[in-house]
Amino acid sequence: MGAVWHVSYGCVLGVGWPLVGTSIAELTTMRLGGPAREYQVAGDTEALVEMVRQADSDSVPVLVMGGGSNLIVGDGGFDGLVVRVASTGLRIDGELVTVDAGVEWDTVVTASLDAGLAGLEPLSGIPGSAGGTPIQNVGAYGTLTSEFLEMVTVYDRRTGELEQWSNDRCGFGSHRQSVFKHSDRYVVLQIVFRLCATGRSRPIAYAGLAEKLGVRPGDDAVAKDVRSAVMELRRERAMVLDREDHDTWSVGSFFINPVLSEVPEKANECPRYPDPAGIKLPAAWLIEHAGFHRGYGHQWGRGTVALSSKHTLAVTNRGGATTDEVMRFAAHIREGVERRFDIRLGPECKLVNCSFA
């Protein structure tokens, strides 16, 4: 067995992102959403389970959230209990990293690298907390969290039991999917990752990252160098949270890459990638080639919602936007893509009390 590391961290949105009262907008990276009827912070796993269990017993609706980086709530807010997960445990034992759901995700990446463990470095800088990673099967630069997930502990709200699930029970496979994504039945409490004590990355699959590192696709690199390159790429695309930069007032990728059994004739020129469920197409390409350029939207409506000036997948709050405006803008983009390519885009983020259907 290797050395055992014990680290305790809080889950925060980042410097300059304070929690104010019960306004859900102050708890999310897109800064949208009305008030919560009740709001509590769960500082540890036991408190989290008890808060959810008590609310379920009292028939009070519950919204469990972490860093708020993949969540949009309606302007009317949430008529129930909002629980922010702020559990802090992080333990490294050899090649195993055990982390509570509330720990900031990038803290998990940096702590692993500092312990000499490689694997998660392509996922550097992704906002949010660790508990969201198995839900979304978070991925970037050719790497998915499911590739390293050994076990996840969940609270089953239906049975009232705590369960430990192995990777193959989580329903990973198709792009950004899991058993947890479209169900509120399970609350993620803790995750165990198995990494590699080599200090070097896996083969670099993403051409842009290989170019930034000065290596060929398929080569490996020093894991900490990969992190530095990834952070540089993310900053170039305004994908690192910055209170002063409205391009970062988003949920990251708003639209999910569609996975189809057959590509419509109108989209024959679109790049395509294999997926266990069919053929994956890049939503960013579809949006841009439907006529929506980077920065599109400043003349749309009140000018409070627009695509990022850095990439077309991010719908951004330019300041003072409402959730209703964001939903109408997203519907506008989706309709344009559907007219052009006969492909209907869907959201990658979680929508609560709002819709652009």
Tell me the mean pLDDT in the region 68-72. 94
Last residue of a domain, one of 172, 199, 226: 199
Higher pLDDT: 105 or 9? It is 105
Let me know if 306 is exposed, middle or buried by CB neighbors in 10 A (0-12, 13-18, 19+): buried
Residues 13 and 115 in one domain: yes
**pLDDT above 60: residue 6:** no
pLDDT, position 182: 79
* CATH code where residue 139 lies: 3.30.465.10
- On the question of pLDDT at 4 being above 80, the answer is no
Query: With 50 as the cut, is the pLDDT of residue 21 above it?
Result: no
Structure tokens at 53: 């269990």
Specify whether 13 is located in the same domain as 130. yes
348 is catalytic: yes
Q: Is the domain of 177 the same as that of 254?
A: no
| The pair of three-digit structure tokens given for residue 343, joined into one six-digit string | 């492909």
Residues 187 and 38 reside in one and the same domain: yes
Residues 197, 188: Cα–Cα separation, whole Å: 26
- On whether residue 220 sits in a domain, the answer given is no
Number of domains in the chain: 2
299: Cβ–Cβ under 8 A, 6 or more apart, which residues? Answer: none
What is the structure's pLDDT at 18? 30
Mean pLDDT of the chain: 91
Q: Which of 137, 169, 199 is the last residue of a domain?
A: 199
The single-letter DSSP state of residue 103 is: S
Largest Cα–Cα separation, the chain: 60
Task: Round to whole Å and give the CA distance between 67 and 144.
Answer: 19
Q: Catalytic one among 95, 104, 325, 348?
A: 348
Beta bridge partners of 193: 97, 149
Backbone angles phi, psi at 287, to 5 degrees: -65, -50
pLDDT of residue 219: 96
Q: Is residue 357 part of a domain?
A: no
Same domain, 178 and 258: no
**Domain membership flag for residue 208:** no
* Integer Cα distance of 216 and 206 in angstroms: 10
Select the highest-mean-pLDDT range: 170-184, 203-217, 329-343.
329-343
Whole-model pTM over 0.85: yes
Domain boundary pick from 171, 199, 227: 199
Residue 170 has pLDDT above 50, yes or no: yes
Exactly one of 253, 294, 308, 309 is catalytic; name it: 253
In-domain check, residue 70: yes
Q: Which domain holds residue 84?
A: 1-199
pLDDT above 70: residue 138: yes
The predicted structure's pLDDT at residue 22: 75
Cα(23)–Cα(319) distance, rounded to whole angstroms? 16
30 inside domain:
yes
Mean pLDDT, range 212-230, rounded to an integer: 97
What is the band of 193 on the pLDDT scale with cuts at 50, 70, 90?
A: very high
* 3-state secondary structure (DSSP) of residue 41: strand
pLDDT of residue 1: 33
The pLDDT score that the predictor gives to residue 175 is 66
* CATH number of the domain within which 286 lies: 3.90.78.10
| 118, 261: one domain | no
Tell me, yes or no, whether 250 and 190 share the same domain.
Answer: no
Q: Across the strands, what pairs with 65?
A: 84
Distance CA 204, CA 15 (A): 31
Q: Does 44 fall in a domain? A: yes
> Is residue 124 in a domain?
yes
Q: Is the pLDDT of residue 9 over 50?
A: no
Average pLDDT (325-342) is 98
pLDDT reading at 10 higher than 80? no
Is residue 176 annotated as a catalytic residue, yes or no? yes
Q: What percent of the chain has pLDDT over 90?
A: 84
Q: Are residue 194 and residue 254 in the same domain, yes or no?
A: no
Residues 263-297 have pLDDT tens digits of 999 999 999 988 888 999 999 999 999 999 999 99
Q: Is residue 283 part of a domain?
A: yes
The residue among 17 and 108 whose pLDDT is bigger is 108
Catalytic: which of 31, 84, 157, 176?
176
| Phi, psi angles (nearest 5°) of residue 347 | -80, 145
Residue 120 has pLDDT above 90, yes or no: yes
Cβ contacts of residue 69 below 8 Å, gap of 6+? Answer: 28, 29, 126, 127, 128, 132, 251, 252
Backbone CA torsion sign across 125, 126, 127, 131: negative
Query: 88 and 155 share a domain?
Result: yes
Residue type, 177: Q
Same domain, 41 and 172: yes
